[in-house]
Amino acid sequence: MPVMNIIEAVNSALHIAMEKDPTTVVFGEDVGFFGGVFRATVGLQDKFGEARCFDTPICEQGIIGFALGCALNGLNPIPEIQFADYMFPAYDQLHNEVAKSRYRSGGHYPCAMTIRTPYGGGIHGGHYHSQSPEAQYLHTPGIKVVMPSDPYEAKGLLLASIRTPDPIIFFEPKRIYRASKAEVPEEDYEIPLGVAKVVREGRDLTLVGWGAQHQQNIRAAEAAAKEGIDVEVIDLRTLNPVDVETISTSVQKTGKCVVAQEAPKTMGFAAEICALIMERCFLHLEAPVHRCAGFDTPFSNAHEHDYMPDMKRVLHSIRQTAKY
């Protein structure tokens, strides 16, 4: 089985999707001839032609508006927004049109599309190329949100997303685009949406995360084990729909929980996870649910490593929660 990084896994998924479904089209800024700013679409235009993989103007609202028209006319669009930070100009198209198409048409026009976009810090991109805006779209009914944490997940979740008859934002963790490597099957496979993965079993505390943050969580759990704290680690993989059952089952067992996210702390998705735990696990809790997150400031390029919750910050949260 070949070893791939996340870029290669995404590229493999796109090739398979376009081979098996002639209605699938890929477009965005520099995705055609150049193969994408991160090279995720390399080879697609050569293999499938300019009619199915092509460049667009630098106009995010136009990219998503065009994807909306494609979807309503029977195509399966996969638009790329070059950085998640740039998706905000298309917020009206996403929030008021794409997300609501299925509902306003009585199910006749579900507006299926998969919007690929790299998110997060770790590449010294500054405040315009480093944000983690998943919470913005989780508060938009009608849009599903997927955030893989490794190459195997990236390929399987992307193929499942492309074949789901709903609009999906597929956030790709650019910090580990090439750093994360794993064995990935060359053939077609899917990972079901809405199913979290217990990556490490434990008895003392539950640690929940997603995307690039999951890698820091694993390291923190391994460090905690050396201190006698047995941490159960959950990789959510899909944020909407979220796998509430896996989270609640784990917390009911451990009695303690830390939720780690790269995004700013206030009003982030970690707060929603905390609320779900309080609703479902209140009588099982032995400590307050703790959030380990980015700071409530614009992303700082100069202080990038201080801003993002690294292994040490997650480990500190584990220690503080475990001692109750």
Let me know if residue 94 belongs to a domain: yes
Q: Quick one: average pLDDT of 110-131?
A: 94
pLDDT of 11 reads: 98
Number of domains in the chain: 2
pLDDT of 103 reads: 95
User: Given 29, 60, 80, 134, which residue is catalytic?
Assistant: 60
11 and 126 share a domain? yes
Report pLDDT digits (tens) over 199-225.
Answer: 999 999 999 999 999 999 999 999 999
Cα separation of 268 and 314, whole Å? 16
**Among this protein's residues, is 129 annotated catalytic?**
yes
244 and 165 share a domain? no
Q: How confident is the model at residue 243 (pLDDT cuts 50, 70, 90)?
A: very high
Let me know if residue 25 belongs to a domain: yes
Q: How confident is the model at residue 28 (pLDDT cuts 50, 70, 90)?
A: very high
**Among this protein's residues, is 97 annotated catalytic?**
no
179 and 201 share a domain? no
Let me know if residue 90 belongs to a domain: yes
User: Given 29, 80, 129, 153, which residue is catalytic?
Assistant: 129
Listed residues 183, 214, 246: the one ending a domain: 183
Q: How confident is the model at residue 300 (pLDDT cuts 50, 70, 90)?
A: confident
- CATH of residue 119's domain is 3.40.50.970
89 with 157: CB under 8 angstroms? Answer: no
Dihedral sign for Cα 59, 143, 109, 18, please. positive
209 and 161 share a domain? no
Let me know if residue 134 belongs to a domain: yes
23 and 136 share a domain? yes
Let me know if residue 192 belongs to a domain: no
- CATH of residue 210's domain is 3.40.50.920
Q: Quick one: average pLDDT of 67-88?
A: 97
Residue 70 to residues 22, 42, 107, 234, 306, Cα–Cα distance (Å): 13, 22, 17, 36, 42
The pLDDT of residue 301 is above 90? no
Report pLDDT digits (tens) over 186-200.
Answer: 999 999 999 999 999
159 and 77 share a domain? yes
pLDDT of 197 reads: 98
Report pLDDT digits (tens) over 125-176.
Answer: 988 999 999 999 999 999 999 999 999 999 999 999 999 999 999 999 999 9
The pLDDT of residue 276 is above 90? yes
Residue 259: which domain range? 197-322
